Amino acid sequence: MNSWAPTPAKRAAPAGRRPKFLLLLLALGVGVVLFGMHMITLFSGSADALGGLGQWRWGSSTSRPPGFLQHDMTDEELLWRASFVPQVKEYYPFWRVPKIAFMFLSRGPLPLRPLWDRFFTGHEGLYTIYVHSQHPHYWADYPPSSPFYGRQVPSQVTEWGEITLCDAERRLLANALLDISNEWFVLLSDSCIPLFSFNYIYNYLRRTNLSYVQVYDLPGKDGRGRYSPGMAPEVDIARWRKGSQWFEVQRDIAVAIVADVKFYPKFREFCKPDCYPDEHYLPTMLSMEVPHLLANRSITWVDWTRRPASHPGTFGMAEVNETFLRRIKKMKTCHYSNQSSSPCFLFARKFTPSSLQALLQLAPKVLGFG
Ligand SMILES: *[C@@H]1O[C@H](CO)[C@@H](O)[C@H](O)[C@H]1NC(C)=O
Ligand SMILES: *[C@@H]1O[C@H](CO)[C@@H](O)[C@H](O)[C@H]1NC(C)=O
Ligand SMILES: *[C@@H]1O[C@H](CO)[C@@H](O)[C@H](O)[C@H]1NC(C)=O
Ligand SMILES: *[C@@H]1O[C@H](CO)[C@@H](O)[C@H](O)[C@H]1NC(C)=O
């Protein structure tokens, strides 16, 4: 910048013109300062958009102050930024301990939070929590001692059965992807409970390279009947799939979901009520793009045997007991690492707030924590 300094200064200016010359010098100086300030904002701005290196280096985000999850990125900016993948696959230039991202879709407070608090106790550094609220202006008042403190992501209005629910899932994934240590991404609701201890779940996910997304083909009104021909050619009816909303995916798949610009616009436009995009978007897209990486089943247990079948069974104080919990934990009619001797489900729903006391009481003996 020194080279920009006005060379006329070296020449002796005629005495009468000196004030004018000084003014010019002053104007130039101000110009240089303004230009410098502009460059600084420009560069810090783009560093922020591309940034995250500082954030990545932190690795464990639990040690950071609450509120750091706040940002003012639009969904478009957030999904774009979250889709970045390192090209060096051989190593990480820092100590990386893979973590589970627990992503909660909540309507308001999390009534079963005290159970989850106990589940997470002692496992700091191996997990991160993200909470998406159905109402963007709802802020839960979690105590600073809770691992949920400060873990709400910027949220948008979410309507069950509409595309905004898929938007919320992608928003949660994108926020969680910003932490490069997150390796497994579990979507949970405010009525979900863990069926095993943290260590058990961590090892279960670590030992498989499959993603737990339920995928099936259902003829009739609640399956293929929801397909719209407008989705062709990206999706044709023969490849239309259904599955549970509650998934667990590995990092590569999470990136594929936030980076999807091929299928998402079709679902947004054509999967209108009563289509339920949350039951079709991921099963259809992932079974077309990465079928070999899917387990085709969910790891979250739910009871569809109740009538009417449009709503899954709910369990409250009267229904929760040791026999019942042990029965879900023991279900083994599924495949895990090509063995059918391991349990099928790591999580279960739907548990009402009234079940909390019974669950807290049974947890040490039946669930293995607390
Ligand atoms: C998954 O793991 C198994 C053995 O652990 C391996 O043979 C297989 O190639 C892996 N699959 C992928 C897609 O990485
Ligand atoms: C899941 O289904 C796909 C076909 O859509 C198949 O390629 C894949 O092997 C299945 N996964 C398992 C674990 O069987
Ligand atoms: C335990 O709960 C199940 C299902 O909620 C119920 O059918 C069963 O009768 C209960 N058992 C006892 C001993 O209360
Ligand atoms: C899974 O087990 C079956 C029989 O037990 C075996 O034939 C098959 O090769 C196994 N698959 C893998 C991927 O190990």
Query: Which atom of ligand 3 lies closest to the CA of 318?
Result: 5
In this structure, what is the dihedral angle of CA atoms 69, 71, 75, 78, given to the nearest 10 degrees?
Answer: -80
Rounded to an integer, the average pLDDT of 84-107 is 96
What is the best residue among 323, 350, 352 to mutate for testing ligand 3's pocket, by most ligand atoms within 8 Å of CB? 323
209 CA distance to ligand 1 middle (Å):
6
Query: Which atom of ligand 3 lies closest to the CA of 322?
Result: 1
Rounded to an integer, the average pLDDT of 230-258 is 97
Tell me, using a 6 A CB cutoff, whether residue 321 lines ligand 3. yes
List 347's β-bridge partners, or say none: 194, 300
In contact, 78 and 171? CB cutoff 8 Å:
yes
pLDDT at 103 > cutoff 90? yes
Tell me, using a 6 A CB cutoff, whether residue 305 lines ligand 3. no
- Coil, strand or helix: which one is 297? coil
For residue 232, the tally of other CB atoms under 10 A from its CB is 12
Task: Among 67-76, 148-157, 273-282, 288-297, name the one with the lowest average pLDDT.
Answer: 67-76
Instruction: Determine if residue 122 is left, alpha or beta; phi over 0 gives left, psi from -120 to 50 gives alpha, anything else beta.
Output: left
The DSSP call for residue 216 is: B
Name the residue among 55, 41, 39 with its Cα closest to residue 1: 39
The domain over range 75-84+96-299 is classified in CATH as 3.90.550: yes
For atom 3 of ligand 2, which residue has the closest CA? 291
pLDDT at 69: 87
Contacts of 297 by beta carbon, 8 Å cutoff, 6+ apart: 212, 214, 334, 335, 344
Which ligand is nearest to the Cα of residue 290, counting in written order? 2
Rounded to an integer, the average pLDDT of 2-20 is 46
335 CA distance to ligand 1 middle (Å):
15
pLDDT at 5: 41
339 CA distance to ligand 4 middle (Å):
9
Task: Among 117-121, 203-207, 320-324, 341-345, name the one with the lowest average pLDDT.
Answer: 341-345
Return the ∠ at Cα 115 (arms to 168 and 55), rounded to 5°. Answer: 50
Select, from the ranges 2-6, 25-29, 160-164, the one with the highest average predicted confidence (pLDDT): 160-164
Domain boundaries, the chain: 75-84+96-299, 300-369
Name the residue among 76, 84, 73 with its Cα closest to residue 45: 73
Measured CA to CA in angstroms, residue 157 lies from 133, 143, 296 at distances of 8, 25, 30
Q: 63 or 28: whose pLDDT is higher?
A: 28
For atom 13 of ligand 1, which residue has the closest CA? 293
Average pLDDT over all residues of the chain: 86
178/79 Cα distance (integer angstroms): 10
pLDDT at 151 > cutoff 70? yes
Q: 306 or 366: whose pLDDT is higher?
A: 366
Reported as a pLDDT band with limits 50, 70 and 90, residue 59 is very low
338 CA distance to ligand 4 middle (Å):
6
Q: 89 or 1: whose pLDDT is higher?
A: 89
pLDDT at 66 > cutoff 90? no
Give residue-wise pLDDT tens across range 175-185.
Answer: 999 999 999 99
251/249 Cα distance (integer angstroms): 7
Which ligand is nearest to the Cα of residue 212, counting in written order? 2
321 CA distance to ligand 3 middle (Å):
6
Tokens representing residue 243 in the block:
């599955």
In contact, 365 and 197? CB cutoff 8 Å:
no
Give residue-wise pLDDT tens across range 274-304.
Answer: 899 999 999 999 999 999 999 999 999 999 8
pLDDT at 50: 37
